[in-house]
Every structure is written in structure tokens, then in C-alpha cells.
Amino acid sequence: MGANIEIFANHRIIISTPDNPQDMQYRNPTPTVDIILQRQSKILMIRRKRDPFKGQLALPGGFINEGETAEAAAKREAMEETSLEIEPIEILGVYSDPKRDPRKHILTVVFVGIVVGGSDKAGDDAESVEWVDLADIEKQRIAFDHLTILRDYKKWKASGGTFWSTKRRND
């Protein structure tokens, strides 16, 4: 039987044969979720307990587990990090810039959600939970690409629409 040869933009070659499909190797982005929760003029942020970006503010979120939907991951991560029960109500966008996380290529689905129960209290890899005024967000030290996400959120609130990594932001 013949071999399948794939050449990718990063010059990685994968050769697989029908007799040996386990030889196939994929280096795919890792899926995550982030959640925007707003109360009056403030956005819920966590202060990161660990690197990368230890001590900086970030949106609550984390990795999607195998067998879990993105929506279920958003609910679980919000509960683990903030002790809040949330409900995702909209998708702000998908952010997939390969350099958005220094650990590896991580893609995130960003949900806008509402709090439906609980009291905010830091847990998991959150050092603290803080409600930060959206108007002051530019003055904060913010992890990952979450400042870009929050800038997009401000635009979304004003005009709607979704965002993604390569969307022109000057429209």
C-alpha cells in the first residue's frame, strides 16, 4: 500500500501508511475557554497564582477536557477559579494567534456569561478574584491577550459582532 505524505507550512512532514496509522503525528492547538462576566461597570478578573503571568490579571478560564463541550468547560472553569455558577449567553469570539500563550499554541473560545449563583472566592490557580472597572482596564497588567479581548468586548457591547484573531480591528 502507498504512503500518505503531508507537508505543512512549518515544513513538518508527516508520513503515514495504512499498515501503520499510529505513525501519524499531529501538533494541533490546544482548546481553551475564557469567560467575561460583568457586574455594573466592572469585569471579573482573577489574579494568576502561577506562571505564565504569575500575579497578573486574567479572565477566568482554562483548558477544555476531553469529552467536554466548550460551554461545560466555561461553567466548570468559572466555578473552579471564582466559586461562581455562571451561564454562557454569547460568544464574543475565537482567539487563535499562535503566540497568545507562551507555553504553546493555545486557541480560546471567549464566552460572555452571567452569574447565576455563588459568591466570588478564589480557587484553583487563582490567587484572588477582583472586579475591575472596565474603564480602567488599560491601566492594569493583564495576562495573555486578554487586554485585546476586553477591547473587543467594549466594541461588541457598542455594536455587536464576533471577533477572531485575524479580523481587522480598525473596522
CATH code of 141's domain? 3.90.79.10
Using alpha carbons only, give the angle 10, 66, 152 rounded to the nearest 5 degrees. Answer: 65
β-pairing, 30-39 with 13-16? unpaired
Residues in the chain, pLDDT under 70: 1-24, 168-171
Residue 113 lies in a domain: yes
Domain total in the chain? 1
> Is 16 inside a domain boundary?
no
Question: How big is the chain, counted in residues?
Answer: 171
pLDDT at position 112 is: 98
Residues 6+ apart with CB under 8 A from 3: 15, 16, 17
Q: What is the pLDDT of residue 34?
A: 98
Instruction: Classify residue 44: in a domain, yes or no.
Output: yes
The grid cell for 62 is 482554562
Residue 56 lies inside a defined structural domain of this protein: yes
Sort strands 13-16 and 163-164 into parallel, antiparallel or unpaired.
unpaired
- pTM value is 0.83
Q: What is the pLDDT of residue 166?
A: 78
Distances from the Cα of 119 to the Cαs of 61, 125, 132, 133, in angstroms? 17, 17, 16, 19
- For residue 122, the model assigns a pLDDT of 94
Q: Look at residues 106, 116, 121, 139 and name the one whose alpha carbon lies nearest to residue 37.
A: 116
Q: Where are the alpha helices (DSSP H) in 19-145?
A: 70-82
pLDDT tens for 14-61 read 555 556 655 567 889 999 999 999 999 999 999 999 999 999 999 999
Task: Locate 148 and state its grid cell.
Answer: 485585546
Residue 15 lies in a domain: no
Structural domain span for residue 138: 30-164
